[in-house]
Amino acid sequence: MSKRQVNSSFVLVVVLVVSVGAFSAETEAPTEAPAPPTTRDLEAEAASSTEDEPASADEKKKKKGGRLRDPLDGKFDLTAGSKRGSGWLPLAIPFNEPALGVGLVAALAYIHPQKGSSGGGPGLSGRPPTVTFGGGGATTNGTWAAAAGHYHVFGDDKARYLGAVAAGSVNLTFYGFGDQPSDKDDGLDFTIDLVGTVQNLRFRIGDSGFFLGLRYVFAATETTFDLDVPEVPLTGDSNLAGLTALLGFDNRDNIFTPSSGLEIDLDISWFNEAVGSDFNFERVDAFFRYYLPIKKKFVLGFRVDVDAAGDDAPFYALPFVVLRGVPIFRYLGNYVVTLEIEPRYKIDGRWSVLAFTGQGRAAREWDQMSDAEHAYNYGVGFRYLIARKLGLGVGLDIAVGPEETAPYLIIGSAW
């Protein structure tokens, strides 16, 4: 999920993650970091195959085997019939989230042909692709969402823009805060209806892996609870809007399923009446992702998230622990810390298996973090490289959390 959520507000997190999956606003691309051996070998073979005709009748037959069979290995591949991964990419994705139920997401993306000279192909030690997308989904608990947008890479990857609009109705449960859990064991059910937009622009600093940028988010919301609960901070209609200063570094080898490199982001947000918000507060989101290749087969991933929001933030805009196996919005607070590790073993050029474990805490005050409820997860999964020219893997994870065990269909990276 990777492949990453929009962190400025809870409402846009849910809509964009459910609707557009792998094409997230916060997924950044590499500079010129070397690809791991398996990926580099496949990329070299792909380059040579586009320059020379197949040398034998068998190779010609293999190449004509269908637009969904990769001519390099004969395996199923969504980008087999496209040049450098460009073209239409339809997705119909089963969806499962403990807080939302089981559902289906349908999306259609157009990956634009690349121009310029940087790198060897979209997502492979080069600039990210330019993508136009749209989609929607619904789940068994009555949640639905739809979104459409465009992600554009300018020039020789000197600037990146994302614009998206979204609408939806999300049914969730309020369990209180991480260090102040609700007295009701089952929590308090509520619905948030919304229409919103996100506008994001980043500029590369020179030829480095550093980016500076600005993001604007706006969401018109209506929040209703199933019961009359005066202790809940907010119900009714409200607008949430904010400006975010963005500072990031990224030298991962792939934007979808990384095997090496580092990604760091610091987002500082101001929600204020001056930009259309009904609330005045600040929020800071910092995250760290590191992928360490070990020899040719192993990749060890590390993740650390630290989030903080001001006291005047509405409850639905507060950060919460995000871990596979933990329902979204279950562990909520003004301060949230989450850690996770994920070792992955490459069986061959297509298949990988992995394990993961993590923990997180949420509290209203930083000095109450040690008393907060402890969220944790552990589990196993697999990945299949379904779009080699994009470096995009898909797979299934089985995650165990404090409340339940749940399966997750993963597009790209779970982070």
Structure confidence at residue 93 (pLDDT): 84
Whether residue 182 has pLDDT greater than 70: no
pLDDT mean over 135-156: 95
Q: Which residue has the higher pLDDT, 381 or 127?
A: 381
Q: Which residue has the higher pLDDT, 363 or 156?
A: 363
Structure confidence at residue 46 (pLDDT): 42
Domain segments of the chain as ranges:
10-294+304-322
Looking at 189-327, list the stretches that DSSP marks H as alpha helix, in order from N- to C-terminal side: none
Whether residue 189 has pLDDT greater than 60: yes
Structure confidence at residue 57 (pLDDT): 47
Structure confidence at residue 239 (pLDDT): 96
Whether residue 319 has pLDDT greater than 70: yes
The average confidence (pLDDT) of the chain is: 82
Burial group, residue 145, by CB count within 10 angstroms (0-12, 13-18, 19+): buried
Lowest mean pLDDT among 64-68, 195-199, 238-242: 64-68
State the Cα–Cα distance between residues 284 and 244, nearest whole angstrom. 9
220-229, 269-278, 404-413: which is most confident: 269-278
Structure confidence at residue 129 (pLDDT): 84
Q: How confident is the model at residue 236 (pLDDT cuts 50, 70, 90)?
A: confident
Rounding to the nearest 10 degrees, give the CA dihedral for residues 45, 133, 131, 91: -10
- Convert the pLDDT of each residue in 345-363 to its tens digit: 999 999 999 999 999 999 9
Structure confidence at residue 163 (pLDDT): 98
Structure confidence at residue 323 (pLDDT): 97
pLDDT mean over 226-235: 60
pLDDT mean over 43-65: 45
State the Cα–Cα distance between residues 299 and 342, nearest whole angstrom. 8
Residue range 10-294+304-322, CATH number: 2.40.160
Q: Which residue has the higher pLDDT, 407 or 53?
A: 407
Whether residue 330 has pLDDT greater than 70: yes
Structure confidence at residue 126 (pLDDT): 52
pLDDT mean over 254-283: 95
Model pTM? 0.79
DSSP string for residues in 220-289 = EEEEEESS--TTSS--EEEEEEEEEEEEEEE--S-SSS-SSEEEEEEEEEEE-GGGT-S--EEEEEEEEE
- Convert the pLDDT of each residue in 3-33 to its tens digit: 334 333 333 333 333 333 333 333 333 333 3
Whether residue 396 has pLDDT greater than 80: yes
Calculate what percentage of the chain has a pLDDT beyond 90: 60
Q: How confident is the model at residue 155 (pLDDT cuts 50, 70, 90)?
A: confident
Q: Which residue has the higher pLDDT, 12 or 67?
A: 67
Nearest one of 408, 389, 412, 353 to 39, comparing CA atoms: 389
Whether residue 178 has pLDDT greater than 90: no
State the Cα–Cα distance between residues 177 and 3, nearest whole angstrom. 27
